[in-house]
Structure 1
Amino acid sequence: MNRTITLEIPEETYEAIKMQAESRGLEPAQMVVEWLSEAIRGAQIAAEDPLEALIGTLECEATDIAEHHDYYLGRALAKELRGG
């Protein structure tokens, strides 16, 4: 079942939505529904990740942990297995 929600938004916000929608061949309302759906999925995924709350709270010299986490985990495990 679909529901209707009416939003009052600033003109500049509407124009930005309209431009994004047109670039993808969508109506502005379809674009908003798509964005809301993506935001909800993202929030659900974040809620399922117990480590999400730690993101950005730890200090580390490495700046590429998100991209190369397997490398760093493997290196730490190898060091631990070597006893050092």
Structure 2
Amino acid sequence: MAQTFLITLPNDLEQALNAQAERLNKSPEEVVLQVLSQQLITSSQTNFIQQPDTDPLLRLIGSLSVDILDLAENHDYYIGQVLYQELRGDE
């Protein structure tokens, strides 16, 4: 049995949906069904439902260029060093 849903999209999401539908030569409804199907099938296969990325810092990943090659692995160490220097008054 088919179910009808009424959803309200923010303007930017509606524009992205319409642009994708035009690129694929499909209706926006078809694109929504395709995306939902892919997401739900993928989620059920991995036995969990993925949550949308809500961390605003995620969009900053890859936007920094630093000379420290192990920053991802040792970020706590580097943060601790800076805090220690600030507490000692070294700058």
Normalised-by-shorter TM-score class: 0.5 to 0.7
**Residue 44 in 1 paired to residue 26 in 2?**
no
Alpha-carbon distance between aligned partners in 2 of 1:2 and 1:31, rounded to the nearest angstrom: 17
Shift of 1:3: 1.1
- The correspondence of residues 2-81 of structure 1 with structure 2, limited to 5 A, is 2-47=2-47
Quote the sequence identity (%). Answer: 23
TM-score (norm 1): 0.54
What code does the residue aligned with 1:46 have?
Answer: T
**Secondary structure of the residue that 1:43 maps to in structure 2?**
helix
Write the distance in 2 (CA, Å) between the matches of 1:2 and 1:30.
14
Higher relative contact order (CA 8 A, sep 6+): 1
Q: Deviations over 1:53-84 (max 9, x none)?
A: xxxxxxxxxxxxxxxxxxxxxxxxxxxxxxxx
Letter in 2 for 1:3: Q
Distance 1:27 1:20 in 2: 9
Task: Write out per-residue CA displacement over residues 27-56 of structure 1, whole angstroms, 9 at most, x where no aligned residue.
Answer: 1111011100000100011018xxxxxxxx
Structure 2 counterpart of 1:39, which letter?
Q
Query: Which 4+ stretches in 1 moved above 3 angstroms?
Result: none
Partner SS for 1:47: coil
Q: What amino acid sits opposite 1:21 in the alignment? A: A
Flag structure 1 segments of 5+ consecutive residues without an equivalent: 49-84
Query: Structure 2 regions of 5+ residues with no counterpart?
Result: 49-91
Q: CA RMSD in A?
A: 1.4
Task: Report the count of equivalent residues.
Answer: 48
TM-score by length of 2: 0.50
